[in-house]
Structure 1
């Protein structure tokens, strides 16, 4: 298979994320719908944390069984560093942006106040920040998926590559929904440009990973990206759980989280059948 065709496979897998993004254009969803969307996104993201960590741990677990302690040490430290940066890094980043918002709103009113506000850097709403964080975490995850597609196709295993594209494509469609769920839950109607940008962040890395995966296969690199993805997605899950608690709709939230989890496992079935 030519490099162009392999890259096309990665593009198809990555940009199916746009199938789930239009839900971010919903107008004034009801409180129950907002709570349900938020909860389904939580379920999908919980599944992704498990899925990402499973793939990250596989080469470390294999090295443990073969008593390759050097590989265990390098892989384990890489995973720990990725998780730390992805989770704790976002905590500190969120605190920094909160301080910026507070400082921007602390300017006294008076002559020149409007000009000062115009010169102040634009800040995003909490829902926009969450959507961006989800897209970034999913993008890191999808980069590792792209590496798998590119590597299998380059080795001549076309059937496996196609199955990976189908499976990852199904995953990406649900991930697109997860990205914009915070916006829909807060009643913020995303612009088409915003959806385009979020899709590029979340789905584009699949395409890049496919291109790189044709020429480079490195367990440490994959573990690093998967660790970053798991940490960042876990942070978003914590944030969305706080949103869910404020709704007070415990029964609806529980069932919708379960639905999100089941959707994650269902869309993973094709990839599992491929033996990955």
Structure 2
């Protein structure tokens, strides 16, 4: 009955309403700008309810010839405009699009930079960048495991508390980056909504998987997840975060907004080394093979390579925003897994040491994050 009523409303309801008065509602967002010699290629999408026709385009108040976009752009559809304009490297430009109804839609370009060609060398560079900022730092951070074991069992709760602090910062950082990328995408398919959707999907999916795995276990685990399983979940959550981070890095480089340099690489390396510490924190009391540790490090680090390559080729801010949201949801689920282990024996809540460890983890991630400048 519900389906029949909704179908009837869809078929008949619109015909019973009067025609809308007033001018058409025209909303256009710029999704991508590509600079090639003497040409600016702009990809636009109609995010409004009515078709939009781009009649003329001005660059810095100068009329330019257009190739493409002759037909009206329907709702949620996109068009590619090639602007014949002798742009100069590093100069700012203002692209003004005049629609057929006289509406002016502006897009500001802070600095013009020639878009890299996606050839083999370019993708190799992106893969190398993913290794630098993802794989190597995580593996370096995991080298603290022998030192943590020598320090005694009491260090475990402190390390886990620091891990929670690191992950809390990653949640905040990933959310902030995702919301920023969502705004850059123009909102055609959602901005903040994509970040929230990705986070909820990841959180609920990992929660369902964890409950399923717990149900299959023959014995109950009073202290929560085992060390290896918890370390695997941490590595997976960090890997999803690094996937979104690599996607953002590749997208920024593809449009000339990322300046590669030794300081940038070093900053990312120091910042992400703490992720390796977070992975090995639950393994202080367990003996793990070297290949297992290597697998955990690759699980957390290699997604940065994939993200950088995909981000440089696809260059979709909304996809990057959603993947960052997925990382946020995964890490939030991992935090809930670790929290029970922060309680001291015989206590129902975390003590001052655990709270100070959480604060220390947040501060460390914040201070190392200051080294990452683009």
TM-score bracket for the superposition, by shorter chain length = 0.7 to 0.9
**Take 1:220 and 1:166, find their aligned partners in 2: how far apart are those partners?**
28
Give 3-state SS (helix, strand or coil) of 1:270's partner: coil
Which structure has more strand as a fraction of its residues?
2
Instruction: Tell whether the 8 Å contact from 2:126 to 2:305 is kept in structure 1 after alignment.
Output: no
Of 169, 180, 183, the residue aligned with 2:283 is 183
1:196 corresponds in structure 2 to 294
2:153 corresponds in structure 1 to 31
Shift of 1:46: 0.7
Instruction: Tell whether the 8 Å contact from 1:244 to 1:253 is kept in structure 2 after alignment.
Output: yes
2:191 corresponds in structure 1 to 75
Shift of 1:90: 1.8
1:216 and 2:304 equivalent?
Answer: no
Which deviates more from structure 2 when the two are superposed, residues 259-268 or residues 234-243?
Answer: 234-243
Shift of 1:19: 0.6
**In the superposition, relative to structure 1, how do residues 220 and 51 fare at CA in structure 2: closer, same or farther (>3 Å)?**
same
Aligned ranges 1:32-181 → 2 under 5 Å = 32-61=154-183, 70-71=187-188, 74-102=190-218, 126-156=226-256, 159-160=259-260, 163-181=263-281
Shift of 1:59: 3.4
TM-score norm. by structure 2 comes to 0.60
The answer for unaligned runs of 5 or more in structure 1 is 107-124
Of 123, 131, 135, the residue aligned with 1:11 is 131
Task: Show CA shifts across 1:192-230 (max 9, x none).
Answer: 111111111100011111222221111221122111111
Instruction: Tell whether the 8 Å contact from 1:142 to 1:202 is kept in structure 2 after alignment.
Output: yes
Larger Rg computed on CA atoms: 2
**In the superposition, relative to structure 1, how do residues 30 and 212 fare at CA in structure 2: closer, same or farther (>3 Å)?**
same
1:22 corresponds in structure 2 to 143
Instruction: Tell whether the 8 Å contact from 1:10 to 1:210 is kept in structure 2 after alignment.
Output: yes
Task: Show CA shifts across 1:232-254 (max 9, x none).
Answer: 11111122111102445612112
Instruction: Tell whether the 8 Å contact from 1:78 to 1:223 is kept in structure 2 after alignment.
Output: yes
**In the superposition, relative to structure 1, how do residues 149 and 161 fare at CA in structure 2: closer, same or farther (>3 Å)?**
farther
**Take 1:80 and 1:157, find their aligned partners in 2: how far apart are those partners?**
26
Shift of 1:158: 6.3
Give 3-state SS (helix, strand or coil) of 2:314's partner: coil
Which deviates more from structure 2 when the two are superposed, residues 148-157 or residues 82-91?
Answer: 148-157
**Take 1:133 and 1:98, find their aligned partners in 2: how far apart are those partners?**
14
Instruction: Tell whether the 8 Å contact from 2:134 to 2:242 is kept in structure 1 after alignment.
Output: yes
1:122 corresponds in structure 2 to none
Which structure has more helix as a fraction of its residues?
1
**Take 1:167 and 1:140, find their aligned partners in 2: how far apart are those partners?**
20
Q: Which has the higher contact order (CA 8 A, sep 6+)?
A: 1
2:368 corresponds in structure 1 to 267
CA RMSD of aligned residues (A): 2.5
The answer for unaligned runs of 5 or more in structure 2 is 1-115
Instruction: Tell whether the 8 Å contact from 2:254 to 2:315 is kept in structure 1 after alignment.
Output: no
TM-score norm. by structure 1 comes to 0.79
**Take 2:125 and 2:162, find their aligned partners in 1: how far apart are those partners?**
35
Instruction: Tell whether the 8 Å contact from 2:201 to 2:329 is kept in structure 1 after alignment.
Output: yes
